[in-house]
Amino acid sequence: MVDEEAGVVPAVESTADDIAAMEIRGAATIADAAAEALANQAERSRAESPAAFRRELRAAARTLYETRPTAVSLPNALRYVLRGMDGDTVADLRAATIDRAETFQRDLAQAQERLGEIGANRLRDGDVVMTHCHSTDALSCLEAALKSGKHLEAIVKETRPRKQGHITARQLREWGVPVTLIVDNAARRYLDEADHVLVGADSIAADGSVINKVGTSGLAVNARERGVPVMVAAQTIKLHPDTMTGHTVEIEMRDETEVLPDEERAAITGVDVTDEDARETTGTIDEDADSPAAPELTVENPAFDVTPPRYVDAIVTERGQFPPESIVTLMRELFGEPTDDPWDA
């Protein structure tokens, strides 16, 4: 079935929904799923003319693009696939698009493997690595080090509010790595036991700033104070070309219920904190607490933050490792001049 209006097939809508809901998450995985979705669009398109086919693919790209704003791997993937949409007939366009998406997915997997081998060189036998969130690029470094026979241990930050640290812990344990899981607030204390901080990235800006899961910047600042090197594992698909012309990276603000579910909010707002009597008889719910007179409770839920380059020791890519300040050279080489929206490709 095709969405008649936009021509976007249900498989694309469903991938977009999964990305928005974080069923599909992590910058590399999102890019892979987006390329796959465009291939699905190409395969299932009922367009009868090359122009209609191109229109549909652009609409599909836009649907995918509008899901989450921070990981540049998403528009980079869309742009890459759409730029390969060559041909004079619908059949040729279909074949070219599917082929291009497959090439993208293959290159992505190879880049991650290569990056892992490079990152593993920074890790010594017996090292303890502190992680934040769940990054397949970061895990690739650990996997390569383990495959080369190094013994590693991990201190895994829980990563509130979505607890992606649990995914990291599960994976590392499957690989036989002893894991110590900590709440985010305990990171500074446990940095004394860590030899490296290893994180991934959603975007890397031209000045070498690293945009990653919220909490990365605080971790990096603490690591610098403790003398623990911070290594960022990021395939070049994470380089954000628009930042070369001064654009900033949008930080996604997610729903407040991830931080404060409704029942917990009610437990806070149900008590009138200005009413001394109500506070003393704990558990008393003030019926008027949510009245316009009650003080406002605001919850902010930024999904990512920005770590300035001075707190990062190395950005490890499939092209080698770079000091953050020199990443712009690689960015220029790979992306050339600044880019348009993916659907303008």
Ligand X SMILES: O=C(COP(=O)(O)O)[C@H](O)[C@H](O)COP(=O)(O)O
Can you tell me the distance from the alpha carbon of 86 to that of 56, in angstroms, rounded to the nearest whole number? 14
Please indicate if the annotation marks 28 as binding a ligand: yes
Six token digits for residue 170: 């599960």
CB of 339 to ligand X, least distance (A): 20
Q: Does 213 bind ligand X (CB under 6 A)?
A: yes
- Smaller CB separation from ligand X, 40 or 317: 317
Is 200 annotated among the ligand-binding residues? Answer: no
One residue of 15, 41, 63, 164 binding ligand X per CB under 6 A:
164
Pair 233, 138: CB distance under 8 Å: yes
Pairing relationship of beta strands 210-213 and 203-204 according to DSSP bridges: antiparallel
Mapped onto helix, strand or coil, the DSSP state of residue 231 is strand
Residue 136 as a binder of ligand X (CB under 6 A): the answer is yes
Strands 320-322 and 314-317: antiparallel
Of 143 and 202, nearer to ligand X (C-beta) is 202
Q: Which stretch binds ligand X (CB under 6 A): 131-139, 142-150, 240-248, 293-301?
A: 131-139
Indicate which residue of 32, 133, 137, 286 is catalytic.
Answer: 133
192: annotated active-site residue: no
Single-letter amino acid, residue 94: R
Backbone angles phi, psi at 239, to 5 degrees: -75, 130
Establish whether 40 is an annotated binding residue: no
- Contact status: 272 vs ligand X (CB under 6 A): no
26 counts as binding ligand X under rule CB under 6 A: yes
By CB under 6 A, residue 133 contacts ligand X: yes
Q: Are the C-beta atoms of 70 and 304 separated by less than 8 Å?
A: yes
By DSSP bridging, strand 210-213 and strand 304-307 are antiparallel
- In the annotation, is 125 catalytic? no
Token pair recorded at residue 196? 């490296």
How would you label 82-109 residue by residue, b for 16+ Cβ within 10 Å and e otherwise?
Answer: bebbebeebeebbebbbebbeebbeebe
Tell which positions 277-296 bind ligand X, by CB under 6 A. none
- The verdict on whether residue 42 carries a ligand-binding annotation is no
Among 67, 135, 203, 243, binds ligand X (CB under 6 A): 135
Give the x-and-dash track for 71-100 against ligand X (CB under 6 A): x-----------------------------
Write out the residues near ligand X by the rule CB under 6 A.
25-29, 71, 133, 135-138, 164, 200-202, 212-213, 303
Binding residues for substrate: 25-28, 68, 212-213, 238
